[in-house]
Amino acid sequence: MYHTIRIGGHSLAQGTFLRSLDDGRIEIDAGHARLSGHPVTPLHPSDAGRLRGALRKTLTGAYLRSGILTAVAAIGLTLTGTATLKAQDNVAILNVSYDPTREFYREYNTLFNAWWAAQGNAPVAVQQSHGGAGAQARAVIDGLPATVVTLALSADIDTISERTGLLPADWQTRLPHNSSPYTSTIVFLVREGNPRGIQDWDDLVADGVQVITPNPKTSGGARWNFLAAWAYAGRNGLDPAQFVGTLYRNVPVLDTGARGSTTTFTQRGVGDVLLAWENEAFLALASLGEDKFDIVVPSVSILAESPVALVDGNITSDAQRAAAEAYLQHLYSPEAQALATRHYYRAWDTSQAAAEDIARFPELELVTIADFGGWPVVQTEYFGEGGIFDQIYEE
Amino acid sequence: MSDIALTRPVPVTTEPPLARYLLIGLAAVFVALFLFAPLVTVFVEALRQGWVGVIDALRLPDAQAAIRMTLTIAAIAVPLNATFGIAAAWAITKFDFRGKAFLITLIDLPFSVSPVVAGLMLVLLFGANSTLGGWLIANDMPIVFAFPGILLATLFVTFPFVAREIIPVMIEQGRTEEEAALTLGASGWRTFFTVTLPNIRWALLYGVLLCNARAMGEFGAVAVVSGKIRGETATMPTMVEMFYNEYLSVAAFTLAAVLAMLALLTLLLKSLLEWRHAELLAATRRH
């Protein structure tokens, strides 16, 4: 598929599409050279967004000239503008995701768009929204028009399904591996040299150890943290409720999302140990310096499946459905799986992943959510209103 | 006798020099520590990778979209609230009616309601789970998690600024001048433009500037209704948080610095106008 791009002020070049760059430019193969520039036919046909942007600009100018009345009219224009433009057939996907996936999806969106265009399709504008998984699910229930959700645990997507009917109850059977293209687990991040000598879960309940973990009510990662601690207590003949209760008494701050907790621990310097997604812990090391923190792998942890799903009820056109379905399915492709591995996720297909990326993952005993009876049971029993977490935290 | 003559007379209307310097010094240290230092930190962090980092950050499409969003919101919210503020102040000070005290309290409501609650109210009112919100979304006019929601949230939190600044000035000035104009045959609009507006213009300007600063800086209410869609519904303050959470601290602080610059510019504009119209200002104040 040929694309025309603008190079500099006036010259144009044509060639086959190679890849999209982050800033809206694309790279093409012009035969003699690889060139990059802004596409003349827009690669991201989010015309609604573009036109609204233009409208905003004119608005600002117009307001200065003719004052308040224009501004009032402008609101009407923006409203109707949004409405009419949405009706047009522009293929945009809104991926509502959770905190630690920001870096992965930024790269995956480029990978997907290049592959999608190579299949001869019109390019897709992928918009991202990130936050605590529970809070993001809540936003989708309240009307955030997610095309696909890629959240921290299936319970979050179950809640959306139950409350809104936007997707069927059996959504998790629609894609392989329980609709989880990548998984992770829960590990400990400690300060350099591990000054508190933390080796396993039982070190977290010692007096004076400060543990950083988000709130299980709003964060998916926090629920995995909770269950992993519970599993450890069960395996070691301890009373799980008492053990986890003691652990949470050592938590000075409960952030709403995993990324908030990571920031609290790494940048604000609060706490001795962070209970983190394995990928989040690796990312903190890579972003903030390997000499500042160490990863400690406990004896038992949990296999954390992070599922993805199409939000059928929010689909507005067949073209969008096709693109969104391909977007999710392509997550299982060897290239995307290799990308996930590079971003510190435990992926299923490592055939194209780099050996050193795979070697980073230590072997450890992983319990699964099935050992707890599955998310529907766990969600009400442990994290529901008046559930085990509420009882423990009130003490 | 001579001892007394040698002692420097201390005027009874001022503090002893030591106390004076101590107080001034204390104020200076306080300002430096709590106002100046944080502001400087923002700029230092932004320039951590030199000007190249700043320019790269400002070239990010997400950053540009956020700046555009914030400026648009302010350009719409500020004139609307200025109009409302003048209308409300006019009604309250020039007329007597039942429920006047109640109206004044109502205007202050956004000051006392937490911004998060303000955002959640909008979500409950216009979200997919309410009848109104459901209908709007079905008709492709989403309010929350879209531009109108952010505008409404900003309008709500900046609601009282202009009215609150004008009302005391108008109360102090009373109605006599307007009444004189009306008895001389001026129309309502003429009275407003030639008598009232010149009297309140400085209070109005101050209110507008405060309103503008808050409209651009609002985080809490906007964060609740924005849906955090990058490049679409992110304003500058929410984008600052997103960049910071993504370990892009240069980008975060660059955007924060732009926000701070906009605030400083607002203040500069105010001082400049005050300075140029110092005489007019003094005249207004003598009234």
The residue to which tokens 């409350």 are assigned: A163
> Amino acid letter at B229?
I
Sign of the torsion formed by the C-alpha atoms of B277, B280, B282 and B285: negative
Tell me if chain B has a CB within 8 Å of the CB of A82: yes
Pairing state between β A273-277 and A186-191: antiparallel
Establish if B65 touches chain A: CB-CB under 8 angstroms.
Answer: yes
Q: Give the model's confidence band at A15: pLDDT under 50 very low, under 70 low, under 90 confident, else very high.
A: low
Give the model's pLDDT for residue B136. 86
Q: Give the span between the Cα atoms of A28 and A17, in whole angstroms.
A: 5
pLDDT of B90 strictly over 80: yes
- What is the rounded CA–CA span in Å between residue B244 and residue A263? 9
B231–A127 C-beta distance less than 8 A: yes
8 A C-beta contact, residue B122 and residue B69:
no
Question: Taking CB atoms and an 8 Å cutoff, what residues of chain A touch B123?
Answer: 142
How many angstroms separate the CA of residue A60 from the nearest CA in chain B? 6
Confidence of residue B73 (pLDDT cuts 50, 70, 90): very high
Nearest CA in chain B to A71: B76
Contact A72 B80 (CB under 8 A): yes
The angle formed by the CA atoms of residues B278, B284 and B285, to the nearest 5 degrees, is 90
Q: Per the CB < 8 Å rule, is B80 touching A139?
A: no
Q: Are A13 and A28 in contact (CB under 8 A)?
A: yes
Residue closest to A205 by CA, chosen among A252, A154, A148, A243 = A243
Nearest to B228 among A72, A129, A263 (CB): A129
Higher pLDDT among residues A14 and A26, named by residue: A26
Six token digits for residue A337: 């799986």
Q: Compute how many other C-beta atoms are within 10 angstroms of the C-beta atom of residue B22.
A: 12
Which residues lie across from A128 on neighbouring strands?
A95
Cα–Cα distances (Å) from A135 to A138, A159, A245, A367, in that order, read: 5, 12, 24, 26
Question: Cβ–Cβ contacts within 10 Å for residue B129, how many?
Answer: 14
Residue A90, pLDDT score: 66
| B68 in reach of chain A (CB within 8 A) | yes
Q: Cβ distance B47 to B54 under 8 Å?
A: yes
Give the C-alpha separation, A236 to A144, whole Å: 43
Using a CB-CB distance cutoff of 8 angstroms, which residues of chain A are in contact with residue B227? 129, 139, 144
Is A141–B242 a contact, with Cβ atoms under 8 angstroms apart?
A: no
Whether B128 and A53 lie within 8 Å, measured CB to CB: no
User: How many CB contacts within 8 angstroms connect chain A with chain B?
Assistant: 104
Distance in angstroms (rounded) separating the CA atoms of residues B254 and B272: 26
Q: Any idea which residue has 């402008």 for tokens?
A: A74
Q: Is a pLDDT exceeding 50 seen at residue A72?
A: no
**Whole-angstrom distance, CA of residue A9 vs CA of residue A86:** 31
- Out of A82, A94, A143, name the one closest to residue B133 (CB): A143
Cβ-Cβ contacts under 8 Å, B72 against chain A: 56, 59-60
Closest CA to A257 of A152, A142, A368: A152
User: Which of these ranges, A171-175, B191-195, B236-240, B279-283, has the smallest mean pLDDT?
Assistant: B279-283
Higher pLDDT among residues B282 and A372, named by residue:
A372
The alpha carbon of residue B248 is apart from the nearest alpha carbon of chain A, in Å, by 9
Residue A135 is predicted with a pLDDT of 85
Check residue A307 and give left, alpha or beta (phi > 0: left; psi -120 to 50: alpha). beta
The pLDDT tens digits of the residues spanning A222-280 come to: 999 999 999 999 999 899 999 999 999 999 888 888 888 988 898 888 999 999 989 88
- Residues of chain B in contact with residue A75, where contact means CB-CB under 8 angstroms, are 76, 148, 151
Query: Residue A74 in contact with residue A59, Cβ under 8 Å?
Result: yes
Residue A326 C-alpha from the chain's centroid: 18
- The verdict on B141 touching A (C-beta cutoff 8 Å) is yes
Whether residue A111 contacts residue A339, with contact meaning beta carbons closer than 8 Å, is answered with yes
Q: Is the pLDDT of residue B11 over 90?
A: no
Q: What is the DSSP letter of A277?
A: E
**Tens digits of residue pLDDT in B14-62:** 778 888 899 999 999 999 998 889 899 999 989 988 899 899 999 988 8
Which CATH architecture group holds A186-302+363-394?
3-Layer(aba) Sandwich (3.40)
* Cα A142 off chain centre by: 19
Cβ-based contacts of B230 with chain A (< 8 Å): 127-129
- Predicted confidence at residue B274, as pLDDT, reads 75
Tell me the pLDDT band of A161, cut-offs 50, 70 and 90. very high
Q: What percent of chain A has pLDDT over 70?
A: 82
Q: Looking at the predicted structure, is the pLDDT value of residue B113 above 60? A: yes
- The answer to whether B83 contacts chain A (CB < 8 Å) is yes
Q: How far apart are CA A35 and CA A14, in angstroms?
A: 9
Whole-number Å distance between alpha carbons of A381 and A379:
6
Q: What is the mean pLDDT of chain A?
A: 82
Chain A within 8 Å of B222 (Cβ-Cβ)? Answer: no
User: Minimal Cα distance from B146: which residue of A?
Assistant: A144
In chain B, where are the structural domains located?
Answer: 13-46, 61-283
Read off φ and ψ for residue A200, nearest 5 degrees: -150, 180
Least confident window among A208-217, B107-116, B135-144: B135-144
Residue type, B262: L
**Which residue, among A93, A144, A162, A166, would best test binding to B if mutated, counting the most B CBs under 10 Å from its CB?**
A144
Nearest CA-CA distance, residue A129 and chain B, Å: 5
Interface check for B151 against chain A (CB to CB < 8 A): the answer is yes
pLDDT tens profile B150-203: 999 999 999 999 998 899 888 888 888 888 998 998 888 999 899 889 888 888
Sequence-distant (6+) residues with CB within 8 A of B19 are none
The pLDDT value given to residue A82: 43
Cα A306 from Cα A353, distance rounded (Å): 20
Q: Which two tokens stand for residue B89?
A: 């102040």
Share of chain B above pLDDT 70, in %: 92
In whole angstroms, what is the distance from residue B260 CA to residue B253 CA?
Answer: 10
Classify A46 as helix, strand or coil: coil
Q: Do A139 and B65 touch (CB under 8 A)?
A: no
Class (C level, CATH) for B61-283: mainly alpha
The answer, for A129 touching chain B at a CB cutoff of 8 Å, is yes
Lowest mean pLDDT among A35-49, A180-194, B109-123, B176-190: A35-49
pLDDT digits (tens, 9 = 90+) for B196-247: 898 888 889 889 988 998 999 999 999 989 888 888 889 999 999 888 877 7
Question: Residue A94: its chain B contacts at CB < 8 A?
Answer: 229
Instruction: Order across the sheet with A92-98: list the strands.
Output: A125-131, A92-98, A148-150, A308-310
Q: Would you tell me how many other CB atoms lie within 10 Å of the CB of residue A7? A: 14
- Give the β-pairing of A92-98 and A148-150: parallel
- Closest CB to A60 among B72, B137, B146: B72
Structure tokens at B202: 């400085």
Under 8 Å between Cβ of A158 and A241: no
Helix (H) or strand (E) holding A273: strand A273-277
Gap between the Cα atoms of B84 and B148, Å rounded: 18
Q: How far apart are CA A286 and CA B246, in angstroms?
A: 12
d(CA A53, CA B68): 8
Please check whether residue A383 is in contact with residue A389, taking contact to mean a CB–CB distance below 8 angstroms: yes
- Using CA atoms, how far residue A324 sits from A74, A106, A110, A296, in Å, is 33, 16, 14, 38
CB of A75 within 8 Å of a chain B CB? The answer is yes
pLDDT band at A40 (very low <50, low <70, confident <90, very high): low
Residue A395 banded pLDDT, cuts 50, 70, 90: low
Residues A75-134 have pLDDT tens digits of: 444 444 443 334 344 689 999 998 889 889 999 999 999 999 999 888 899 999 998 888
Instruction: Evaluate if residue A284 carries a pLDDT over 90.
Output: no
Residue showing tokens 């105010």: B270
- Which strands form A304-306's sheet, in the order they lie side by side? A304-306, A182-184, A346-347
Assess contact for A73 and A67: CB atoms under 8 A.
no
Structure tokens at B39: 């502001």
CA distance A296 to A279: 13
In CATH, the number for domain A87-182+306-347 is: 3.40.190.10
Report residue B190 CA to chain centroid gap.
29
A-chain CB neighbours of B126 within 8 Å are 143
With CB atoms and an 8 Å threshold, state whether B127 touches A143. Answer: yes
Closest chain A residue to the Cα of B143, Cα to Cα: A79
pLDDT above 90 coverage of chain A, percent: 43
Tokens linked to A50: 């573009």
Quote the radius of gyration of chain A (alpha carbons, Å): 24
Q: How far apart are CA A339 and CA B55, in angstroms?
A: 29
